[in-house]
Structure 1
Amino acid sequence: MNNNKGLTILWDFDGTLFDTYPVYTKLFKKVLADRNIDEKDVYQNIKISFRHANNYYNLSEEQLKEFASLEEEIPPQEMMPFSGVEKVLQYANNNVIMTHKLGKDVRKILRYYGWEKYFSEIVAGDDGFPRKPNKESYEYLHEKYNIDLVIGDRELDIIPAKELNIKSCLFQNNKSNLADFYLNDYGEFWTKVVEEFN
């Protein structure tokens, strides 16, 4: 961990640290090959949440299993980090992750990019906490690390931050008015976020 005066940041994973939605959009299209569904439509539904997309497309138990099996086969190099995000990770004094993704999948991707060193803790979907927007996992991480900022790409990522009076930032999502900061890319972090904290 860096010993600078950076922030302690709680990160979401999919759509925030890594640009995974295009890959998941292709998987949904593959699983739902018998339906003529629009890729843009799939992307927008995944962006709300995976649970929402599953319900929206009414995936059967068999389709959910097929999706999980296809997901297992995705090579980590297809899960690309967003440009500029590593500089923010390096700047931060401390980073933690809260994601619905399985811990082994998160660690596999972080290991591939050599990014495990940036994170003090990962709370994943199989760690027993209720799903976001329940604040329990955030409360646990906040008590342990004193979080300064939560960064996510969906409202459900920042609702718990609001409940705990932690500053929040939405990435590539300016449709909500809940966040304190909005970033279209991580190059804006230095002027839009850092300057406000200093």
Structure 2
Amino acid sequence: MNILWDFDGTLFNTYPAYTDILYEVLGSRVSKEEILSHLKISFTHAVKHFGIDEEQVQRILAKEQDLHPANTPPFPYVENILKFSDINVIMTHKPRKEVVYILDYYGWMKYFKEIVAGDDGYPKKPDPSSYIYLHNKYGVDLVIGDREIDIMPAKVIGIKTCLFQNNTPGADMYLTTYEDFFKNLIEV
């Protein structure tokens, strides 16, 4: 099985740290729960929703780059799936340097054939261009993401989808924990 993965919120539990950063930058004027709900749609959505200006965006991005990988741990049991699959690839909006830093820290570069990162020139999700590229090269069987925009490109090109910790209608498979992956795989 060949799997295309999203990064933030799918492989690594980055949202608690990102929520804390936005909470700090916004001056505690919004609850962490509200911040998280908007981040789970997209960072761009959260920026627009909260009226975050360019200076604040730059502060947020700088704080994100300064995060130690220990503050963005992998989700439990996800490594079992990485070991099981034949090929794993990543498509993320995150800059390559940050992705590689986290993967190296956890010793996970060995699991990925290719990474399409935010600074590689592809249009942002839900545009399917990067998915088409990865699918044509690796024959992707399943796309796993935590947001609707992660599965939308896969649906356009006919690849099976899995939403992680998100029950938005439209996915072929839903997981709240990766421990249940193999049980649910039979159903897809």
Query: Could you state the TM-score of these two structures normalised by the residue count of structure 2?
Result: 0.98
Rounded Cα–Cα distance in structure 1 between residues aligned with 2:181 and 2:145: 13
Rounded Cα–Cα distance in structure 2 between residues aligned with 1:120 and 1:16: 17
Q: Give, as a single letter, the amino acid of the residue that structure 1 aligns with 2:92.
A: T
Rounded Cα–Cα distance in structure 2 between residues aligned with 1:90 and 1:109: 18
1:128 lines up with 2:136 in the alignment: no
For 2:18, the equivalent position in structure 1 comes to 24
Identity of aligned residues (%): 52
The residue matched to 2:40 in structure 1 has which SS? Answer: helix
Q: Unaligned 5+ residue runs, structure 2?
A: none
Rounded Cα–Cα distance in structure 2 between residues aligned with 1:148 and 1:99: 18
For 2:175, the equivalent position in structure 1 comes to 183
Rounded Cα–Cα distance in structure 1 between residues aligned with 2:61 and 2:107: 25
Rounded Cα–Cα distance in structure 2 between residues aligned with 1:51 and 1:62: 15
1:165 lines up with 2:158 in the alignment: yes
Q: Give, as a single letter, the amino acid of the residue that structure 1 aligns with 2:184.
A: K
For 2:6, the equivalent position in structure 1 comes to 12
Query: Could you state the TM-score of these two structures normalised by the residue count of structure 1?
Result: 0.93
Rounded Cα–Cα distance in structure 1 between residues aligned with 2:187 and 2:65: 40
Q: Unaligned 5+ residue runs, structure 1?
A: 1-6
Q: Give, as a single letter, the amino acid of the residue that structure 2 aligns with 1:11.
A: W
How many residues are treated as equivalent by the alignment? Answer: 188
Rounded Cα–Cα distance in structure 2 between residues aligned with 1:67 and 1:196: 40
How large is the RMSD of aligned CA atoms in angstroms?
0.8
The residue matched to 1:168 in structure 2 has which SS? Answer: strand
